[in-house]
Structure 1
Amino acid sequence: MSFFGDLRTVLQGSRFRRLFGTRLASQFSDGVYQAGLAGFVFFNPEQHTSAGAVAAAFAVLLLPFSVVAPFAGVLIDRWPRRQVLLLSSLSKAALAVVSALLVSGGDGPAFLVAALLVLSVNRFFLSGLSAGLPYVVPREKLMMANAVTPTSGTAASFLGAGTGAALGLLGGDGALGAGFVLFVAALGFAGAALVSLTLGYRELGPHLEREPEEVRTAVDDVVRGMVSGVRHVWARPAPRDALATIGGHRVLFGISTLVTLLLYNNTFTDGGVAGLAGFSVAMGLSGAGFLLGAVATPWATARMAPGTWIALQLAAASAVLLVFALPFEAALFPVAAFALGFVSQGVKVTVDTLVQRHVDDAFRGRVFSVYDVLFNATFVLGAALSTVLVPPSGVGPAVVALMAAAYLAMGAAWAVRGHRAPEPEAERESA
């Protein structure tokens, strides 16, 4: 079935439509906000950004809110998840306004604190979406829903980033232009809060009267709750191996993102608006790859085991890096961005479904918070590794070759796993 056919199918559910609309409104605004942030922090025309500076900015903006994720998981297993979406959206709107007001002071501590708070609150929002999805679609349609909803949200985010970049081009490189982009994002977050009100107060769970006593007491011991989520995943090979793979992929994706940013800021262009525009084009093509990966994944997993599909994509990523990234040509690099976008989303949709199918609802919020920590911390790890591996120009042939080898090794591991222990038939369900 096609992506749009899958989307039409799941949109038949009114409860799904409400959750889907909340996601799209918020993630479009995320893209606008991130474009304003990237243009102001990374593409400063007065300096050429180094790998260390970019990695430090990623660490400041990503690692603190990764610490929030364990608390988010326990609390969204305790709080009405509709309220999580509503209050998160309102908080992001207020913080985005603060960010817009602070740009006149430069990218100093206060501005970065406001930015990381926006991203920290987003952990609650995204975890709430993932934990609430099984409440609005039947189990047999989870693969379909996981293909179209996060992917549509990612597409909305890329569209928002493009919109933000266009607004930035109109406003120029100065603080006034960046502030305008961030204020538009604040309006979008407020709109997402209004859409979330179409959902019922308890419509997304959790229904604590049906859950084990551990859920009721986990909020008293966040660390213990987080550990229980890890143990829950560790006892289940399919989601355990899937999360290990997404972690490895995110390390490599962090490296590739930093390389791409440096190339467009320091090599392909002279930075500033031109650098942001070139980087936005590459990211736009990556977004198109995300969408195509979501289209292909339900079709592929109807015809092969999820592990086989993951193995094929990782092997393809290895080949693409060698052919399109290694020459470091401005005309070829966007092709690599498109292909890695395809692989990134194809793998993630499969991993999301494996995790949702093989963890209990009592632990789902905490497990997806573990997922969030892994997803972001490994990205930052990749960026940190780049500080000692990648030159300021972004041109690092040995780095790209090592990335290709790592993708190939992970793909081979999944091929061996499938040969030794074929996926249960239940895991091969597809819309």
Structure 2
Amino acid sequence: MAVVRDLRVLLRFPGFRRLLAVRLLSQSADGVFQVALASYVVFSPEQQTSPAAIASAMAVLLLPYSLLGPFAGVLLDRWQRRQVLLHGNLLRAVLALTTAALVLASVPLWLFYLAALSVTAVNRFVLAGLSAALPRVVDGERLVIANSLSPTAGTLAATAGGGLAFAVRIPAPAGAAADAVVVALGAGIYLLAALATLRMSRGLLGPDPSGERPRLAEAVADTARGLAAGLRHLARRRRAAQALASMAVLRFCYGALTVMVLMLCRYAWDGDSGVDGNGTSGGGSGALGGMTLLGLAVVVSGVGFFTAAVVTPWAVRRTGRFGWITVCATGAALLVPSLIPPFDPLPVLAAAFSVGLVTQGAKIATDTIVQSSVDDAYRGRVFSLYDMLFNTAFVGAAGVAALMLPPDGRSTALVALVTVLYAMVAAAMFHVKPSDDHQDDVSGTVTSERPTTA
């Protein structure tokens, strides 16, 4: 009820309503495009899907966030943000249509990746622009609430967009034409997002034209030096560094298991394995195809993420932040080897829920540790490093999985590796003394000027 009340208050700001509409449309298109990319790479009969191909697709989706993210703000403080949102979404619509044409033309996979990489690279600027513009459309008193609700709404929109893509793709016959239709659907929603930006005045979202800005090269160099300073500060905050290291390992495990599930859906379960009345896989039933099972895995993993958001505050009060990371890693170390082999759908779906819960639960605790352990003056830079580490760990896991997985995705060796990594995190976090849980806590003072309102 409190969330609904807060949202009603925020929606009274015309600028916030319009900016939120752009975010919802833009991120729902992201969800559609990402599912289309996965469908074409993993399930298209025209492609000989391999773990290496999946690893390449994940690099396309995530590396722009990691490499461009810290530097996007340099340009967003120089360009009109409303124009960034307008032209960014128009450009993505054109690039997505180009990608759909490439799918129909059955071009080499590297050319498809190049087009998809262009779409996701522009996405980094659009998302950063949405966040940077937020203080211009709500007052200072409600900025924290807006920062909480707006990205959450965007995540839900991306999930809904992915669901829409699954709904369009699953009933269609396998083939490039169906994948191209889903990509074109994403292009249409990107176009709607661009049109929605026209409801805002050109200067509404800033930046202030009277502000003094350094030269571009100097600004980029300052950003690089800022990241280095953030890394040095993090080295002095031992607990924050430990939490980030553990989160990187947990994210690595999540990425490796994600590639495994994708390969299982493509080869072990796609049309050759259904789920019978006893809950075990049966050959040749075709009752649940691989695409359907992938959609179910995404849903149950998302339910695990939501469950983590609900239970983590309660759990941290009882176990401490490092204690909760220990519990999460221990649970994963016990559940993953007991659920995944012999690689039947229902146990793997149960593992998807469990891994989603423990990964997100540990991340929430890690976010809190970093926020409370790092000086306010360094938080932005440390979280930029956190974002880079988070995404590169996932891409690195996909690369390792590509080396270890057989074509059908059934790898007890990968399950064993992931189990050992979970156990190592649990052991390392267990040895953090309860009295050390708040050792590096700092009391930062947050100051802000009252922003321009809509």
TM-score with structure 2 length normalisation? 0.77
- The secondary structure found in structure 1 opposite 2:9 is coil
Task: Give the count of matched residue pairs.
Answer: 422
- Offset, 1:249: 1.9
Residue number among 385, 399, 402 corresponding to 1:370 in the alignment: 385
Equivalent pair of 2:78/2:213 in contact (CA under 8 Å): no
Residue number among 337, 344, 349 corresponding to 1:334 in the alignment: 349
Q: 1:198, 1:300 → 2: CA distance?
A: 44
Say which structure is richer in helix: 1
Q: 2:191, 2:97 → 1: CA distance?
A: 11
Structure 2: gaps (5+ residues): 273-285, 445-454
> Which moved further from structure 2: 398-407 or 366-375?
366-375
Q: 2:206, 2:237 → 1: CA distance?
A: 24
Q: Which amino acid aligns with 1:33?
A: F
> Which moved further from structure 2: 374-383 or 301-310?
301-310
- Offset, 1:257: 0.7
Pair 1:34–1:352, CA change in 2 (3 A): same
Verify: 1:51 aligned to 2:66, yes or no.
Answer: no
Write the deviation string for residues 131-154 of structure 1: whole angstroms up to 9, x where unpaired. 667886979996x87876555443
Q: For residue 270 of structure 2, what is the aligned residue in structure 1? A: 269
- Offset, 1:10: 5.6
1:31-430 matches, within 5 Å, as 31-45=31-45, 49-63=49-63, 66-76=66-76, 84-108=84-108, 109-128=110-129, 150-194=151-195, 217-220=218-221, 222-237=223-238, 239-270=240-271, 274-301=289-316, 305-352=320-367, 354-355=369-370, 358=374, 360=376, 364=380, 366-417=381-432, 419-423=434-438, 424=441
- The secondary structure found in structure 2 opposite 1:12 is helix
- Offset, 1:105: 1.8
- The secondary structure found in structure 2 opposite 1:49 is coil
Equivalent pair of 2:21/2:196 in contact (CA under 8 Å): yes
State the Cα RMSD in Å. Answer: 4.0
Write the deviation string for residues 251-295 of structure 1: whole angstroms up to 9, x where unpaired. 111100110011111112248993222212111211222222223
Equivalent pair of 1:45/1:270 in contact (CA under 8 Å): no
Equivalent pair of 2:29/2:189 in contact (CA under 8 Å): yes
> Which moved further from structure 2: 125-134 or 399-408?
125-134
Write the deviation string for residues 304-340 of structure 1: whole angstroms up to 9, x where unpaired. 6433333332322222213322332212111111122
Residue number among 9, 12, 27 corresponding to 1:12 in the alignment: 9
Q: 2:315, 2:139 → 1: CA distance?
A: 21
The structure that has the greater radius of gyration is 2
> Which moved further from structure 2: 123-132 or 375-384?
123-132
Q: 1:297, 1:49 → 2: CA distance?
A: 37
Equivalent pair of 2:60/2:120 in contact (CA under 8 Å): no
- Offset, 1:176: 2.5
**Amino-acid identity (%):** 39
Equivalent pair of 2:28/2:189 in contact (CA under 8 Å): yes
Structure 1: gaps (5+ residues): none
- Offset, 1:120: 1.4
Q: 2:118, 2:407 → 1: CA distance?
A: 29
Q: 1:270, 1:345 → 2: CA distance?
A: 32
Q: Considering Cα pairs closer than 8 Å and 6+ residues apart, tell me whether 1 or 2 has the greater RCO.
A: 1
Pair 1:123–1:264, CA change in 2 (3 A): same
Q: Which amino acid aligns with 2:348?
A: F
Pair 1:247–1:99, CA change in 2 (3 A): same
Equivalent pair of 1:77/1:362 in contact (CA under 8 Å): no
Q: 1:411, 1:134 → 2: CA distance?
A: 40
Write the deviation string for residues 336-376 of structure 1: whole angstroms up to 9, x where unpaired. 11122223333334444555564647872x54443332222
Q: 1:363, 1:198 → 2: CA distance?
A: 34
